[in-house]
Structure 1
C-alpha cells in the first residue's frame, strides 16, 4: 500500500515523462485555433490525446496524486476534459491501495434518470478537488466549483494539467479561496 507521499516523491520523474508525451501527442502548432474562451491562438493543447491513452492517463494520475491535498476523497470536474483525468486518478489510487472516487459535472442537468449535474459515487460533505485538462480563463473550474459547493461538497483544491493563462487562473482561484496547482505551463512545453 502506498500513500500520497510516495506519489509526491516521484512527481518530478512523472512530470518529465508527461511533458515529453504531451509534446509528442497533444501540442498542435498549425493554428489558428479558437479556444473555449473565444480567444484565438496559434497553438492548441489537445489534452485528451494524452489523458485518453493508457500510458498518458497513468502519468497524469501520478502527477495529480503527487500534488493532491491530503484528505481529498474525490476528484473530478466539468465533463469532458476532467473525466479521463478523474477516472485515471481513481484507478491509479486504487491500484496503490488508496481510496479515491471520481465525479463528473455535467454542463446542464439531465431531466431523466437521476437527473442533476453531478455524476459519481460521492458522499455528501466529503472534500473534493476539481480538475481540468487545459485552462485559459478558469471558467470551467469556477462553474464546477459553484456546482459542487452548492451541492454541499467542500472544494479544497483545483488542479490543471496545463495552464495557459499567464497567472489569470491562479488569481481567480485565490480570489475564491481555492488552493490551485498547475502541473504544466506553455514554457514547459516549449511554447512560451
Structure 2
C-alpha cells in the first residue's frame, strides 16, 4: 500500500479526530481551562495510527539530518518513540529510542533515562511529544536528556496547542515542529 505524505497526514488527522479529540470543558495538566482535550495515546496505540505517526515523524527527522536517536517523556511519548524507532529500522535509518522518567528510578542506577546503552555521549537526538501546551514538561525532559550527555537537536510533537509552548521552548534554544495545530487538524481531518 503506497501512501504520499499528504494522504498519510489526511488519514492521521481523521484518526486523531476520531480517537483522540474531544470537545467540552477540560482542565489541562498546565491548570489551564480548555474547550477541547487531545488524548494522543488513543491514536498512537492504534496500529495504523502508530504507523502513520512514526512515518510522518521520520520524514521530518530525515529532512533535519544528523539525528542519532529518538526519545521522550513517559507516558505520552512512549508509543511515539517505539513507533519511530521500529519504523526507522524498516526504512533503513535505524534510530534507537530512550524514555525519560518523570522521577529518577530510585534504585539501581537511579537514572532518569532508560535506553542509554544505545547511545554515546554527544549523540544528537530528537525529542518526541504527543501534545505541547506550555512546554514546561518538555523543557524538563530536554534538560534531563542533556544532563545525561546527549544533545537535543530536534523537537517534534503531534499537536501544538499554540498556547506558548513553542515560544517557551525557543527561549531554551529548542525549535518545535508540530505535525498539527488544532486548526490544521480540524481542516485536514475534515471535521464538521
TM-score computed with the length of structure 2 as normaliser: 0.89
Q: For structure 1, list consecutive stretches of 5 or more residues without a partner in the other structure.
A: 1-8
* 4+ long deviations beyond 3 Å: none
* 1:182 aligned onto 2:178: yes
SS at match of 2:178: strand
SS at match of 1:42: strand
* 1:125 aligned onto 2:122: yes
* 1:73 aligned onto 2:68: yes
Indicate the RMSD between aligned Cα atoms, in angstroms. Answer: 1.6
Identify the residue that residue 81 of structure 2 maps to in structure 1.
86
Contact 1:129-1:157 within 8 A present in 2 as well: yes
Identify the residue that residue 55 of structure 1 maps to in structure 2.
48
Contact 1:10-1:66 within 8 A present in 2 as well: no
What is the number of residues matched between the two proteins? 181
Pick from 8, 13, 23 the counterpart of residue 17 of structure 2: 23
Q: For structure 2, list consecutive stretches of 5 or more residues without a partner in the other structure.
A: none
SS at match of 2:88: helix
TM-score computed with the length of structure 1 as normaliser: 0.89
Deviation at 1:13, TM superposition (A): 2.4
Contact 1:103-1:122 within 8 A present in 2 as well: no
Pick from 34, 38, 48 the counterpart of residue 45 of structure 1: 38
1:29-84 alpha-carbon deviations (Å, 9 max, x no partner): 1x321111111212101100000111100100011011112111111111001110
Deviation at 1:187, TM superposition (A): 0.5
1:93-145 alpha-carbon deviations (Å, 9 max, x no partner): 11112210111100010122332000013322210111110111111210111
Contact 1:103-1:118 within 8 A present in 2 as well: yes
